[in-house]
Structure 1
Amino acid sequence: MAKNRKATKKFQKKQLKPTIEKRRKVQKFKKSVDRRQFKKKLSGNDTTKNTNNKKESELSEKLQTEQKLSDSDDELGLKEINDLALSDSSEETSEEDDIENFQISDGSEDDGSEESDVIKDQNNNRQPKSHQQKKQKQSVQKDVFELKKQLEELKDKDPEFHKYLIENDQELIEFDVSDFDSDSGSEKDYSDEDDIEENNVDIKKSESNNMELDSENEGDEEEEKAALREAGLDDDYDESVPELTSEMINKWILSMTESNALSATHELVLAFRAAAHINEDESVQSFSYRISDPLVFNNLMVVGLKHIPDVFDHHLGAKGSDARNPKLICAHRKWKSIQNLVKSFLNSVIYILKQLTEKDTLFFIIKESEKLIPYYSCFPKLAGQYLKVLLQHWGTSEDKVRVVAFINIRKLALTAPSPFIDLCLKGIYSTFVQFCKETSVFTISSINLMSNCAVEIYGLDFKRSYQSAFGYIRQLAIHLRNSMNMKSEETFSAVYNWQYIHCIELWSKVLATYCDEQSVATTGKSPLQDLIYPFVQVCIGVIKLNPSAQYFPLQFHCMRALIHLTQKTGTFIPLAPYLFEILHSAEVCRNAKPSTSKPLDFTICLKAPKSYLRTTVYQDGVCEELTELLLEYYASFCLSIAFPELIIPAVSQIKRFIKVSKNFKTNKKFQQLVLKLEENGKFIERHRKNVEFGPGDIEKAKSFLRDVSKDSTPLGSYANTLKKLKEQRRKLMETN
């Protein structure tokens, strides 16, 4: 036997059981009517002649009524055969109610009058007129001939499915049209349905195992519906719905481009709505057009997003940048007349963005939907839904989709009414926290891109940004306080994780960008500058929470965030004691055991594996990180007038370490660092000999060597050279 098609398997899986149950109900009803007739005939033999006459008259009325009911049920049976049980729930409900009523009347056999009244009431409700009976018979015959024609066409269109019907349901293929010309045809159909039912049950039992194995390989809905249409088995296929073609789209576009016609725009919006809901079941929701050609679908997406916004702009006078203000759009005289049309199109764009996964199509739709942002701003609820969809793609899609999604989010935050920017700030931060849980070599670039986007949007409105940043930095402080007080594994893991560290790095970037020393000197104090102190306290608390050697990588991340903040804002943060604490730790000073492990990448690591502890690989990595951090920290003050005094503790601590350490490679790096620190100290001393102000004059002290570049100093030049070498080495490792 040939392998069944997907449409056949789907019918057997989803529709076969309801079809059998429905036919059983019809047969049960038929048998109950026959049983009542037989009992009434038996009871009529024992009564008087007058009673017999009365019963015979009632029996004749019932026979006529039941014959009409059987005709109508015959129509139902024919439609079931034609549709192969794409059943309607409302019809099943009505049939069940009728069966229950007849079963109740059948139970009251002792009182024939009550039974007769019930049947007469039902017959009066269901009995059609004479001319309607003729029309029904004609429709039945028409359906029969159509069924016969479809089954003949099925032999050419789908020979495998036709062969399957011959082997398993021969009654359906070889029925006689003349059987349906008389009233007795209904009885024949119901008797034949017993065989069909038994065959279908056997089919279901014999192929249940194959259905379970093949259920994972089901095709998409459109392919299965097309197969059912070819077999004439799809009840949801409505031929009255027109098929969308490229000629229709071109006609609408021509009308829109020449005269900005709203009628053509309306039709295109309806077609776009049908395309957006193309994967939905048509029986659940009806649409104005049917789309089956992928080329038509793609063409509709392109022209719809390119031309529909232009028509809206023309009729609402929103072509200029100033005119695209949501307040002006809503105040336009034509707004009420096309408001529903605009809303329908915006809903369709949101819906299709939720369904799409293909990268290029998604990129195109998000990019083109930027023109619709002023219209989304006119509907607060739709704007929130649109923002939610953009945030989802901003957090999960590839980089080019992230960029266009963020551009739309930024424009939406600027265009929508003022409170809406709070939703954008909250959504950006929440999405960033949600998708930075896991950090690796493959995800670090995307996380950095998202953090840069968040920094950008927090510069749109400093007043709103301050409120949002204050709340989230306070959350970090609360987690840290709970970890210090409770000292449980749960509270500790709430701080020492990638989400917490990435949040620290994010706020370091935000404060460093908008509290920059040069921008503050020109534009004045930033409202975000008041958040530097609480943020620094949180970072130092994280460094001190667990000073064990296993968490040195996490401490390095926090120190880099604070050093970056110091370099940009000029704020003095006392990080040297925590760096010296690591320098004099047992992990760095004691003799390490040799190891052949791969060097640890501190940029994607928070906790060192236990196998790395007390090894030369880990010790060398920690010393290299310490050298870089000490160099970056002191290079941020290389132009300070107090630099000679600032480096005194560092020079003494490093020289003490060199005397104790036996690692020649590490000692050489630290000696070079001490040499550059002393050279830079002498450079500052030479320039401050000619200074005429004292230490109390803070403003003049801050302006000392302000015009000199950091790269011109010995320490700054050395730090810049090492930074370039590190970047080249990292690029070389990535290429390999």
Structure 2
Amino acid sequence: MAKNKKATKKFEKKKLKQTIEKRRKVQKFKKSVERRQIKKRLSRNEAKNEKEDINLSKNMKTDQKLVDSEDDLISEEIIKLKGMNDLTLSDSNEESLEEDDDVVENFWISDDEEKTEGSDVINKEDDDDDQYNKQSKSHKQKSSVRKDALELKKQIEELEYKDPEFYNYLMKNDQELIEFDVSDSESTSEKGDSDSDDDDIVIEEKSSSENENVNEKEEKAALNEFELDDDNISNENIQDLTSEMIDKWVSTIIESKSLRSTHKLVLAFRAAAHINQDEAVESFAYKISSPSVFNNLVVVCLKHVPDVFDHHLNVKDFDAKNPKSICTRRKWKSLQTLVKSFLNSVLYILKQLTENDTLYFIIKEAEKLVPYYSCFPKLTGQYLKVLLQHWGAAEDKVRVVAFINIRKLVLVAPAPFVDLCLKGIYTTFVRCCKETSAFTLPSINLMRNCTIEIYGLNFKSSYQSAFGYIRQLAIHLRNSMNMKSEETFSAVYNWQYIHCIELWSEVLATYCDEQRVATTGQSPLQELIYPLVQVCIGVLRLNASAQYFPLQFHCMRALIRLIQKTGTFIPLAPYLFEILHSAEVCRNAKPSTLKPLDFTIHLKAPKNYLRTSVYQEGICEELTEILLEYYASFCLSIAFPELIIPAVFQIKRFIKNSKKFKINKQFQHLVQKFEENGKFIEQHRQNVDFGPGDTEKVKSFLRDVNMDTTPLGAYAKKLRNLKEQRRKLMESVSY
């Protein structure tokens, strides 16, 4: 005979006696329930079969026969229940004795399975009444006994909240029916609470889950068992929530982390979340008639309920990043329903609210619940959807806290959920940047920065997502070049397309930065630089008309950002020289009193601006700034003197043919800075001892020198500061 396992010996030594006692208690309870149901069934049969023409003696004989037959059925049911319990005990001894508490939980799981099987049988019997009339009398009695036992047990669990008076009556007159052990798994882990208190807690948790998930047939059968009216129960037992009740619950939660008070808070919070549904008020345990009580309840629940969950599940800071560890905690099965109910209520109230201050508070406090949302995949997706909705439409402070929750979801949720977050945040950004103005641009910039942050959390998923969306941009551009219709053209030359280009240029510039690559290694996103550059150049070539110069400036700035951060050489000078020698810049413009065009919020110049001096000066100012930024990106390059030769030649030729003093002065000053920076590089280049073929030393040339110390870099920094001051001044005047 094989030796017993170590876990088996441990179980026999510590838990076997307790487990056997539990089985006996359950069997005793079942036997008492069955006997009571037999008596009730007899009384009903007497009422139904009573006829005036039948003698009293015959009725007594038939009743006696029913009693005898049902006593035989009781004995058969008890034998079967004993066999099932013994089987459950033996299976748990052989298979899951490594953890003692798992054995207790497996026992209760087996009882639940019996419940579900019994409820399925009941439903089938209700649907086929004619068939059961033809079956034998013993089969009817057997099914009815099991039905009544299961339904009575369920009703006892729900009775305390639906009819407290009747429950108290049973406590006084039939205490044996009420007091039975249901939550030993919970009571063994509680040090400060008594066994009876823990039993009531688990009964409440089961009743809340059943109120949400039970079907209509089971509810009707349970209510008919006690011959109660559902409408009367709900109307009589709905309590009006007061601040004193909330304070009492909070005090017990703070003192002992009481699950009983927490459960009452969760029920009240559920009623508060559905407060606008008049037709559903009767289905809740509490009603809220005061706004102050509502506000107090919301604040208390969001501040204290997550702490109770953390306490009983022993969740630490390092556990919050691993939801699987929470789901494996010993108390998780008993608290799972309560946690899910609270999460559903928070989710529902977030869907209904529109007031920004309340939304800010709830979303901020809900950050503590993110690990628990991650334990329920369906709720996680719904929570992400609500967060994205507020992130795209609410005020900036609500956007920030919503993004913090989304970022935490990305870090906590399993790997496939990262792709869903990336897709959701990108599509929300694209949808919200459809219209751009001076008022919406700050929010769009905030959303773009948030999106950049999300795409830096998981480079593997970010690469796949970015590759797909950049490919979409390329497909739209290809269709516009091939089909040349107004519809395909408008699919490219719009704010959504340009904001996407700017977004991906900032993503690649942030995570493919030369300094970052030198410390952390090459990023997987590095390979996306080339396709994005090709898309930008294609957009520049699509339509070179003067009316779309503002759009071209946006694309050029995106490319310059890539040059400055990643060190990638992009031949952007030819497209700048095309604008410099365009007819809109070279021809004599007509004077105008129009307000200067803001190129940051325009992609297409209005027709009344074309061929005007205002638009011409604005183009030259933007062109000067972009030329300066482009060549300032190479101000420390050893090849800078040769790089500026085409630019100096083109600008001088423009100045020679132009008669516009203001514009010529800007370009003359720019050429002067180019030449000064060229001389600066030539002075340092005289001391080098390597040739152009030594690429490593060429790259390290003047690497330790700050770009702002060069003549061109200092001039570019000065112009940036002046532009920023002017922008702030314009914003202050507009507001």
- Over residues 535-562 of structure 1, what are the superposed CA-to-partner deviations in whole Å (9 max), with x where a residue is unaligned? 0000000011000000000000000000
TM-score, with length taken from structure 1:
0.67
Q: Aligned equivalents of 1:243 and 1:559: distance in 2?
A: 64
Match of 1:454 in 2: 451
Provide structure 1 residue ranges, at least 5 long, that are not aligned to the other structure. Answer: 1-233
| Residue of structure 2 equivalent to 1:427 | 424
Distance in 2, Cα, partners of 1:686 & 1:238 = 92
- Preserved contact between residue 269 and residue 345 of structure 2 (Cα < 8 Å): yes
Amino acid at match of 1:705: L
In structure 2, do the counterparts of structure 1 residues 607 and 692 end up closer, same or farther at CA, with 3 Å as the change threshold?
Answer: same
Alignment-mate amino acid for residue 632 of structure 2? A
Match of 2:435 among 429, 438, 447: 438
Q: CA deviation at 1:295?
A: 0.4
Look up the match of 2:331.
334
Deviation track 1:541-590 (CA, whole Å, cap 9, x = no partner) reads 00110000000000000000000111111100000000000000000000
1:521 equivalent in alignment to 2:518: yes
Is 1:471 the counterpart of 2:476 in the alignment? no
Find the aligned partners of 1:635 and 1:603 in 2 and give their Cα distance: 21
| Residue-by-residue CA offset, 1:189-229 (whole Å, 9 max, x unaligned) | xxxxxxxxxxxxxxxxxxxxxxxxxxxxxxxxxxxxxxxxx
Q: Paired residue for 2:263, among 266, 271, 290?
A: 266
Shift in Å, 1:239 = 4.5
> What secondary structure sits across from 2:698 in the alignment?
helix
C-alpha displacement at 1:258, in angstroms?
1.1
Match runs of 1:487-502 below 5 Å: 487-502=484-499
How far the C-alpha of 1:325 sits from its partner, in A, is 2.3
- Of 512, 536, 539, 1:539 maps to 536
Question: Is it true that 1:288 corresponds to 2:285 in the alignment?
Answer: yes
Residue 253 (1) aligns with residue 228 (2):
no
Q: Residues 28-47 of structure 1 correspond to what in structure 2 (within 5 A)? A: none
Counterparts of 1:523 and 1:706 in 2: how far apart (Å)? 19
Q: Distance in 2 between matches of 1:341 and 1:722?
A: 60
Where do 1:660-675 residues align within 5 Å?
660-675=657-672
Q: Secondary structure at the match of 2:659?
A: coil
Which residue does 1:609 correspond to in 2? 606
2:721 match: 724
Q: In the aligned structure 1, how far is the partner of 2:347 from the partner of 2:561?
A: 40
2:657 matches 1:627 = no
CA contact (8 A) 1:515 1:525 kept: yes
Contact 1:317 1:323 in 2 (8 A): no
Name the CA distance, whole Å, in 2 between partners of 1:631 and 1:730: 19
Aligned to 2:678: 681
Deviations 1:108-158 (Å, cap 9, x if unpaired)? xxxxxxxxxxxxxxxxxxxxxxxxxxxxxxxxxxxxxxxxxxxxxxxxxxx
Matches within 5 A, 1:378-393: 378-393=375-390
**Amino acid of the residue matched to residue 531 of structure 1?**
L
Of residues 423-432 and 255-264 in structure 1, the stretch that sits farther from structure 2 once superposed is: 255-264
1:735 maps to a residue whose letter is S
| Structure 1 counterpart of 2:248, one-letter code | K
**Residues 640/285 of structure 1: CA separation in 2 closer, same or farther (3 Å cut):** farther
Deviation at 1:257, TM superposition (A): 1.2
Question: Could you tell me the TM-score, scaled by structure 2's length?
Answer: 0.68
| Residue of structure 1 equivalent to 2:391 | 394
Letter aligned with residue 420 of structure 2: L
SS at structure 2 position matched to 1:727: helix
1:405 corresponds in structure 2 to 402
Query: Which residue of structure 2 aligns with residue 306 of structure 1?
Result: 303
Q: Write the distance in 2 (CA, Å) between the matches of 1:324 and 1:406.
A: 17
Structure 2: 5+ residue stretches without partners: 1-230
Deviations along 1:505-534, one digit per CA (max 9) or x if unpaired, are 000100000000111112211100000000
Instruction: Provide the rounded CA distance (Å) in 1 between the counterparts of 2:654 and 2:282.
Output: 77
The CA deviation at 1:284 is 7.3
Q: Secondary structure at the match of 1:419?
A: helix
Q: Give, in angstroms, the shift of residue 290 of structure 1.
A: 0.4
- How far, CA to CA, are the matches of 1:283 and 1:461 in structure 2? 43
Cα deviation digits, residues 675-732 of structure 1 (max 9, x gap): 0000000000000111111111111101100000001000000000011011111111
SS in 1 for 2:637: coil
SS of residue matched to 2:306: helix
Q: Which amino acid aligns with 2:704?
A: D
Aligned residues: 503
Match of 2:698 among 694, 698, 701: 701
Letter in 2 for 1:320: D
The match for 1:713 among 699, 710, 715 is 710
Displacement after TM superposition at 1:285 (Å): 6.1
- The separation in 2 between residues aligned to 1:282 and 1:273, in whole angstroms, is 15
Give, as a single letter, the amino acid of the residue that structure 1 aligns with 2:658: S
| AA at the equivalent of 1:451 | R
Cα pair distance change 1:602/1:241, threshold 3 Å: same
User: Does structure 2 retain, via aligned residues, the 8 Å contact 1:367–1:404?
Assistant: yes
Aligned counterpart in structure 2 of residue 568 of structure 1, from 561, 565, 568 = 565
CA 527–324 in structure 1, closer or farther in 2 if over 3 Å, else same: closer
Change over 3 Å in CA distance of 1:580–1:323 after alignment to 2: closer
Q: Distance in 2 between matches of 1:240 and 1:726?
A: 68
Structure 2 distance, partners of 1:638, 1:246, is 69
Amino acid at match of 1:287: F
Offset at 1:322?
3.4
Residues 444-469 of structure 1: CA deviation (Å, up to 9, x unaligned): 00000000000001000111100000
Deviations 1:284-327 (A, max 9, x none): 76111000000000000000000000110011110333366211
**Partner residue of 2:550?**
553
Give CA deviations for 1:483-524 in whole Å, capped at 9, x if unaligned: 000000000000000000000000010000000011111221
Please say if residues 483 and 495 of structure 1, whose CA atoms lie closer than 8 Å, have aligned partners that are also in contact: yes
Asked if the contact 2:320–2:371 (Cα under 8 Å) also holds between the matched residues in 1, the reply is no
- Is 2:388–2:425's contact at 8 Å kept on the other side of the alignment? yes
User: Is contact 1:236-1:283 (8 Å) kept?
Assistant: no
* 323 and 587 in structure 1: CA distance in 2 versus 1, 3 angstrom threshold: closer
Per-residue deviation, 1:236? 12
Answer whether contact 2:234 2:282 (CA < 8 A) is retained: no
Q: Does the aligned pair in 1 maintain the 2:676–2:712 contact within 8 Å?
A: yes
Which is greater in Rg? Answer: 1
Q: 1:706 to 1:345 in 2, by over 3 A?
A: same
Q: Distance in 1 between matches of 2:638 and 2:457?
A: 36
8 Å Cα contact 1:326/1:377 also seen in 2: yes
Cα RMSD of the aligned pairs, angstroms, is: 1.4
**Structure 1 runs of 4+ off > 4 angstroms?**
234-237
Alignment partners' CA distance in 2, 1:270 and 1:430: 36
1:254/1:389 Cα in 2 relative to 1: closer, same or farther (>3 Å)?
same
Q: Distance in 2 between matches of 1:378 and 1:730?
A: 47
Distance 1:727 1:653 in 2: 29
Structure 2: distance between partners of 1:598 and 1:320: 56
Amino acid at match of 2:302: L
